Amino acid sequence: MMSKILKFLYPLRRDGSSGIPHLAPVEGLDLFMPLSHTFPPFYRTNCLVLGDPGEKCILVDPSPLNRKVFRALLKSLRSLNRTFNEIFITHHHLDHHHLAPALAGLLKVPLSMSRITAEQLLKRHGHSYFRDVEVVQASEGDIITRCNHSDVRVLEVPGHDAGQLALAPDSMEWFLAGDLIQSIGTVVVGGELGDMAEYYRSLERIIQLDPQWVIPSHGNPMKSTSHVKKTLNHRKQREKQILQLYSKGYSPEQMVEIIYRGTNKRLWPLALENIKAHIKAASTSGVSGTEHSLV
Ligand SMILES: [Zn+2]
């Protein structure tokens, strides 16, 4: 189903027999969609390859579901005939770095990420997680390569996750937004590292930068920031609804049943986090909270 939609929108191709969908939505970008540890309806995390010939070639968020998908992704990557220089991890959630250290070891390249992401990965997966792989810290304003003759910079975009980083060329031809936005459904902000107020600010930053394409980690690249604007409005409306129910005495659990009635029940625990984040933010600052990926 997803392949049919993508074929309609973009010149979709499957490389050799790897079976992994591959798009080239913008000049200079290759986007693979391997199966990953993510939530329905996507089941896949976008893995981006960027960098002009002669510049550093960066691989973003390779996170194959298992060894079989790992091998298929490797086959797809090798079909590009590129020499990879670095693996960039947008944030610490499992569906963005699973097996990335193994891939970095195989390709003999460093992993780059924010300081917070590195700390979280070590905390959650143990001090041997990076093994012999070099880890490079990436921060706001760093230039990591050039794409279509424009410097590609790191942007710090907390909200969904405290250490999340985005990438965009100075030309603003595109903006790699990671989990700040997705093409279908709602990003859920919650947990100890989510923050709704920061999430709002990060979305507003994308809108202000006004890129031609917004590339999410799950789903299709989106033309213009119209979907980002729609998402921001949706979140603010949802917050209003939650606070109204809260003022009438409904518990967060009861709110999940009311608000997310038509949503896959697998996602209800995330929805509950989201609701609690809205309530917490409203009770501490008057506005806001945190998100993760409820779709
Ligand atoms: Zn995430």
pLDDT by position in tens, the chain (length 295):
344 334 334 444 554 456 899 998 888 899 999 999 987 778 899 999 999 999 999 999 999 999 999 999 999 999 999 999 999 999 999 999 999 999 999 999 999 999 999 999 999 999 899 988 999 999 999 999 999 999 999 999 999 999 999 999 999 999 999 999 988 777 878 778 888 889 999 999 999 999 999 999 999 999 999 999 999 998 889 888 999 999 999 999 999 999 988 888 888 888 888 888 888 777 765 443 333 334 3
Distance 160 CA to ligand 1 centre (A): 7
Q: Compute, in angstroms, the gap from residue 285 CA to the centroid of ligand 1.
A: 24
pLDDT score recorded for residue 1: 39
What is the 78 CA–ligand 1 centroid distance (Å)?
A: 27
- pLDDT of res. 286: 46
How would you classify the pairing of strands 29-32 and 47-50?
A: antiparallel
Cα of 91 from ligand 1 centre, angstroms = 7
Give the SS3 label for residue 88. Answer: strand
Q: What is the whole-number distance in angstroms between the Cα of residue 114 and the centre of ligand 1? A: 14
Report CA(39)–ligand 1 centroid distance (Å): 10
Q: Tell how far the Cα of 102 is from the centroid of ligand 1, in angstroms.
A: 20
> Which own/partner contact pairs does 15-24 have at CB distance under 8 Å and 24+ positions apart?
15/75, 15/76, 15/79, 16/75, 16/76, 16/79, 17/75, 18/72, 18/73, 18/75, 18/76, 18/79, 19/72, 20/69, 20/72, 20/73, 20/76, 22/76, 23/220, 23/221
State in Å: Cα 132 to ligand 1 middle: 25
Q: How far is the CA of 161 from the centre of ligand 1 (A)?
A: 7
**Cα–ligand 1 centroid distance for 295 (angstroms):** 12
CB burial string 103-114: b at 16+ within 10 A, e below: bbeebebebbbb
Q: Is 61 left (phi over 0), alpha (psi -120 to 50) or beta?
A: left
Task: Write down the residue that tokens 């499992």 correspond to.
Answer: 94
Distance 198 CA to ligand 1 centre (A): 15
pTM of the shown model: 0.85
The pLDDT value recorded for residue 70 is 95
Say what the pLDDT of residue 4 is.
Answer: 39
249 CA from centroid of ligand 1 (Å)? 31
**Cα of 280 to ligand 1 centre, how many Å?**
20
**Rounded distance from Cα 291 to ligand 1 centre (Å):** 8
Distance in Å, CA 289 to ligand 1 centroid: 15
pLDDT for 7 equals 39
Between the CA of 59 and the centroid of ligand 1 the distance, in Å, is 17
164 C-alpha vs ligand 1 centroid, how far in Å?
A: 8
pLDDT of residue 285: 55
- Find out whether the peptide bond into 62 is cis, omega within 30 degrees of 0: no
CA 162 to ligand 1 centroid distance, Å = 10
